[in-house]
Chain A
Amino acid sequence: MEDPPAVLALLGPGLRDAVLTIGVLALLVFVAVVGGVTAVVIRAVRGRGKREEEAGLDLIPYLILALSVIAAGFALAALARASLTPDRLIGRPTGDLAGALAALVVAAPITYLLWRRQARRRKTFPATPGWPVYLAIIELVFLIAFLTAVSQLADFLAGEGEQTAWTDLLIYGGIVAFHWWAERREAPRGDIGDLPRLVGSGVALVALSIGLIGTLEWLFSVAYGALWGLDDVPDPAIPIALATAGAAIWAWRWLPSWEEEPSVLRNFYVGFVTTFSLIMTVGAGITIIATLLTFVFGEAGPAVDHFDALPLALAFAIVGWALWFHHSRRLGPGRTAGRRGYEYAMAATGLGALVGSTTALVEAVFRPTLAGTNSGSTLLIIACAVIASGWVWLTFWRKAQAAPRAEEARALPRRIYLIGMAIILGLTAAGSLIAVLVVVFRALLGEIEADTGSLRIPVTLTLTAGLATWHLFDQIRADGSGLKTIESKPFAVTVVCSHPGTLATLFPKEATIRVLYRGDDAGMIDEEMASAIVAAVDRRSSLVWVDESGFRLASAREP
C-alpha cells in the first residue's frame, strides 16, 4: 500500500485506515450517485414535451430556494439553541442571537418569495425537474442533520456525550416533516419524481444499517463477554437510537407502494443497494472464515483475543444479508435494468478484487523472510479473498453470459462494465509494465544490479491485470461481431396510427414498415415521437399503437 497523504500520516494507523476507507467509499458513493442523477436528469430533459420545455429546467430558482431554506433552517436552529439551551453559565447570548437573526433576515424573505413564486409556477408547469431536485436536497441536508441530532441526544442521555440541543431535533425534524407534507400535496412528476423518496430512503437506510450493525455488535459482544470474557463492549445508545429513527423513516419513505413503474433512478438505487449489501455480506463472510481458518492452521494467539472481531463481522454479515434479501427481490423478474446493473457491478467488484488479491497472494508467497517461513495467517486471509473474489466474478459473469447475447450485448450496464473495467485494468497493467521496464532498463544500462525482489508486485500485476484486460477486450470484440449480425437482420414493424409522418424514413433499410390507419386524428406521429418509436423498437419486430396518450409497443414474431 502506498504512503498516505502527509495530513493523514499525523493520524494513528487505525484511524488513518478508517479515514482512507471511508474516504474511498464516500468518493465511490458520491460519484455513483451524482452520475446516476445526472444521467436521469439528462434523460428527463430529453424526454420532455413542449409544454415543459417552455418552463425550462427551473433548476436555478429551486437551487437558490434550497440554499435559502438551508440557511434559514440552520439559523433558526442556532437561534433556538442560543435561547433555549439549558446550562448557560454566564452572559446573554447576544453574539449567537445576532448571527442567527442576521442570517434569518436575509434568508427568510428570499425563502418566502421564492416559495410562493415556485408554487405558482408549479401550477402551470407541474413536471419540471426543479421541484423533485429541491425536495431531494432539503431531505438530504435536514434528514442528516436530524439523525445527527438524534445520535447526539442519545449519547447525552446515556451519560456519555456532551450537552446537546433538543431544539435541533424539533427544528430539523419540523423542516423535514413540512417538506414531506408539501410533497404529498404536490407530488413530483416525471422520471426524477422518485428522487426525494429515494434520497430519504437512502439516508434512512444508512442510519438504519449503522444502527443495526452497532446494536447487533453490542448484543454479540455482551454474549461473547459473558461466555469467554471481553472487556471492550461498545456502548449501545447511539446505535439503538439510529436504528429506531432510521427504521421509522425508512419504512415511511421506502415501503409504501410506488405509484409508477420503476424509473431509471429507482432501478439505479435498488441495484446500487443490492450490490453494496452483497459486498458487505461477502466481506464479512471472508473475515469470519479467515478468522476460523487462521485459528486452526495459522499462528493464532489466545482464542478470546483471536475471535474478538467476530461480533462485528457477524453483525455486518447479518445486516448485509438482510438488506440484500429485501432489495434483490425488488430488482424485478427477468433481466431488468436494475438486475443487470447489480450483476455487472458485482462482476466488476469481483474482477477488480481478484486482480488485487492475486497480486497480494503472489507477493506474500514469494516475499523473502529473515528467518522461518511466511506468516500462515496472512496467506490464509489473502487466499480466502482470492477464492471469494473469483467466486463472485465467475458467478455473476456466468449469469450475464447465460442471457441471450443479442439483447445482452446492447445493454448499457454491460458496456459500462466491459469498457470501464478494460480501461481501468488496462491502465493498471500498462503502469505496472512501465514499472517493470524501468528496473529492467536500469539494469541493462548498468546503473544498478537487477533487484528481482522489487519486481514481484509489478510483474504479477502486469500479468493479472493484462490477462483481465485481454479477456474484457475479447468480449467487447465478440459483442461487436454479434451486433453486426443483429444489425443486418431484417425486422418488421406494424404501426397503428392516424398519420406516420417521417417515421418510415428514420428506420434502417432492414426494416419493413406496415402502417394501419386508425381513421381519426388521435394518433398523429410527429418527429419527436418518430425518433422515440425507432429507439424503442430497437431493430426488433414490433407492433406499435399510437393514440392521444402517446405510443405503446408490443413484440411481434420475427419475419
Chain B
Amino acid sequence: MDEERRLPGWVLPVVGVLVVVALVLIGLNREPEQFDPESPEGAVQSYIAALVEGDFETAASFWAEGDCLPASSVPTEGAPDISATLVSVDGDNEEATIVIAITDNTADPLNGLSDFQEWFNLVNEDDGWKIRQLSWPYWDQVCEMPS
C-alpha cells in the first residue's frame, strides 16, 4: 500500500477527541424541547419539571381525580435528579399513554441500572390532561382510593 497516502497517526485521535468534546458540549447546552402544555406530553413534561424543582404541590395538581393516589405528594426519595426523553405517545383525545426514558443522574453506575422507562397513563379532564396510576417516583407509598 502506498505509504504517502496514509494520514499522519495523530489525525484520527485528534478528530475523535474533537467529535467527543463537541458532542459533550452539545449535550450539556441543548435546552429541552418545549411541548404544548395542553398536550399529553406537555402535561408529563410540566409534571416532571415540578417534581425535579421540588414543587410537589404543583406536581400533585396533575394527578387525576378519582384514581388511586399516593398517600403523600412528597416522593419517596425527595426531588429526583434526572434527565428524561420522550419515547412514545399513544392514544386519542380521551386517553393517552406516554412512555419516557429516564436517566437517574445520582445513581451509582456500579450499583445497578441508572436508565429505565416509565409509563404514564393520562386522561383528558375538563382542566387539561391528568396523570393516573402513578408509580414513579412514588414507588414505596401506599396507594389510597378516594373516599
Which residues from chain A sit less than 8 Å from chain B, CB to CB? 76, 79-80, 82-99, 101-102, 104, 108, 112, 116, 161-163, 185-186
Given A76-B20, A95-B107 in contact, is the A87-B33 Cβ separation under 8 Å?
Answer: yes
Contact yes or no, B27 A82, CB < 8 A: yes
- The smallest C-beta distance from B146 to any residue of chain A, in angstroms, reads 28
Within B1-33, the residues touching A (CB, 8 Å) are: 1, 9, 12-13, 16, 20, 23-24, 26-28, 30, 32-33
Decide if B88 touches A163 in the complex (CB within 8 Å). Answer: yes
Indicate if the CB atoms of B1 and A185 lie closer than 8 Å. yes
Cα A354 to Cα B97 in complex, Å, equals: 51
Interface residues of B in 96-111 (CB under 8 A from A): 99-100, 103-105, 107, 109
- Top 3 nearest A-B pairs (CB, nearest first) are A83-B27, A91-B83, A87-B86
Interface centre among A82, A89, A95 (most CB of B within 10 A): A89
Contact surface of B with A, Cβ cutoff 8 Å: 1, 9, 12-13, 16, 20, 23-24, 26-28, 30, 32-33, 35, 41, 44-45, 48-49, 52, 81-88, 99-100, 103-105, 107, 109, 114-115
* Contact yes or no, A90 B32, CB < 8 A: yes
| Contact (Cβ within 8 A) A99 B87 | no
Complex Cα distance A461/B81, Å?
Answer: 63
CB pair B24–A83 under 8 Å, yes or no, is: yes
| Distance between B122 CB and nearest chain A CB, rounded to angstroms | 14
Using Cβ atoms and an 8 Å threshold, which residues of chain B touch A104?
Answer: 20
Contact of A90 among B26, B49, B109 (CB under 8 A): B49
* A90-B103 contact given A83-B26, A97-B24, CB 8 Å threshold: no
Pair A85/B85 contact, Cβ less than 8 Å:
yes
Could you tell me the distance between the alpha carbons of A89 and B49 in the complex, rounded to whole angstroms? 9
Contacts of B41 in A (CB 8 A): 89
Other A-B pairs, 12, CB within 8 Å; known A79-B23, A86-B33: A80-B23, A83-B27, A88-B83, A89-B44, A89-B86, A90-B32, A90-B45, A91-B83, A93-B27, A93-B83, A112-B13, A163-B85
A99-B109 in contact (CB<8A): yes
Evaluate whether A89 and B48 lie within 8 angstroms (CB atoms) in the complex, with A82-B27, A163-B86 already known. Answer: yes
Q: Which chain B residues border A93 with CB–CB below 8 Å? A: 27, 83, 103
Q: Which residue of B lies closest to A115 (CB)?
A: B12
Q: Which of B9, B23, B83, B88 contacts A92 (CB 8 A)?
A: B83
B99 touches A91 (CB 8 A): no
Given contacts A91-B84, A95-B103, A116-B9, contact A101 B20 (CB under 8 A): yes
Of all chain A residues, which has the CB nearest B83? A91
Partner of B114, one of A79, A95, A161, A162: A95
Q: How far is A80 from B28 in the complex, measured between Cα atoms in Å?
A: 12
When the two chains form the complex, which single residue of A84, A94, A161, A163 contacts B23, counting CB atoms closer than 8 Å?
Answer: A84
Known: A76-B20, A104-B20, A162-B99. A89 touches B84 (CB 8 A): yes
